[in-house]
Copies of this chain bind each other. A is one copy, B any other.
Amino acid sequence: MKLSDNYDKVGSWLSGDGPQSDIVISSRVRLARNVKGFTFSAHSTVEQNQHLLTFLQSKVMDSALQDKVYYFCMQDTSDIERDLLAERHLISKQLACGSGPRGAIISHDESLSLMINEEDHVRMQTVASGLQLKETYAILAGIDDLLEQDVEFSYSKQYGYLTACPTNVGTGIRVSVMLHLPALKLTGQMDRVMRATKDLKLAVRGFFGEGSEPIGDLFQLSNQITLGKSELEIIDELITHAIGPIIEYERYARQKLLEDEQSMLDDKVYRSLGTLKNARLISSEETLLLLSYVRLGIYLGRIKGVTIDTVNKIFLLTQPAHLQYLYDQTLDTQNRDEYRATVIRKYLA
């Protein structure tokens, strides 16, 4: 376990140094794969799961990746540690909360993670700062190829890769970006964006993916179709028809705010910063809301003296499991709100 080395740093995907990262927080690509000759997870026994876990773990840990990754056996980690990995978007909540033999292999810089025995046998993802879907996919395709040298995945000539859920059959790909859209939200244009993305058959989700509500003006946009198109076609269409135009709208809305509503903008931005600097009790939801405006204020040059790096650190480290890991104890809501406020003041001091 190397959580203790990493938990108070942000992963490379949250470094804020990628292209267009003033609007695109991160790009993420995930592939779903299942191993030929092993029963699909939904119907497998604990022994079969353990067998698969041992098999895949050894394949990855003996591969060229071995010096770049950590292995986490889920049964050997605490609830708080698993929640912490989920808060860092390295494993899914489903893997964190599941039961039975399951594991995660995570690269030191947190740009790559593989989950074993989640919904599929393997779910692998790469993630990077800013808009880098093609680059991110290229890296993941390389990992996929590397694994396929040693492991044969279930594949149908007619359908492509076979997956536990039919929505993933074909490429098994999910491509997503986390967008920060405070100006579209502030100017009441998010409904229009939501309708357009629905027409394009894209999914819009919150910070924590499936089932989570958008919060802090963060919207996760991803493809829903995995069949009948190549991976690069899926990525191209997502960028051309959705991400590109949304970035343009958000940038325009920000410019209009700067030109026409500077007092209102500054008021929101500075009140948010003032509250973060002074609160003694604060929920994670309010923290995300306030950080959203501070982030906007920094990118629009309205706030000096607070860096995006600080915002991203607060963003990540004030989540419940991170707080409990830091203070090495289980905390109830009131205590978390108090400790969260303390951590925020420390970073903004």
Q: Is A54 an interface residue (CB 8 A)?
A: no
A348 vs chain B, min Cβ distance (A): 11
The closest CB in chain B to the CB of A334 belongs to B263
Contacts of A263 in B (CB 8 A): 280-281, 334, 338
Supposing A263-B338, A338-B263 touch, asked if A273 and B281 sit within 8 A by C-beta, the answer is no
Q: Is the interface of A mostly helix, strand, loop or mixed?
A: helix
Q: Is A36 an interface residue (CB 8 A)?
A: no
A279 touches B270 (CB 8 A): yes
Q: Is A266 an interface residue (CB 8 A)?
A: yes
Contacts of A275 in B (CB 8 A): 271, 274-275, 278
B264 touches A271 (CB 8 A): no
A274 vs chain B, min Cβ distance (A): 3
Other-chain contact of A341, B267, B281, B338, B341 (Cβ < 8 Å):
B267
Contacts of A334 in B (CB 8 A): 263
Return the CB mask of A266-308 against B: 1 if under 8 Å, else 0.
1100110111011111100000000000000000000000000
Q: How large is the interface on A (under 10, 10 to 19, 20 to 34, 35 or more residues)?
A: 10 to 19
Other-chain contact of A274, B266, B267, B278 (Cβ < 8 Å):
B278
Contacts of A264 in B (CB 8 A): 281
Contacts of A341 in B (CB 8 A): 267
Supposing A267-B341, A341-B267 touch, asked if A277 and B274 sit within 8 A by C-beta, the answer is yes
Contacts of A273 in B (CB 8 A): 278
Return the CB mask of A254-270 against B: 1 if under 8 Å, else 0.
00000000011011001
A271 touches B266 (CB 8 A): no
B279 touches A271 (CB 8 A): yes
A294 vs chain B, min Cβ distance (A): 11
- Complex: how many Å from CA A281 to CA B279? 20
- Complex: how many Å from CA A185 to CA B243? 50
Told that A271-B280, A274-B275 touch, could you supply 16 new A-B pairs with CB distance under 8 A?
A: A263-B280, A263-B334, A263-B338, A264-B281, A266-B280, A267-B279, A267-B280, A267-B281, A267-B341, A270-B279, A270-B280, A271-B275, A271-B278, A273-B278, A274-B278, A275-B275
Residues of A near any B CB (own CB < 8 A): 263-264, 266-267, 270-271, 273-275, 277-282, 334, 338, 341
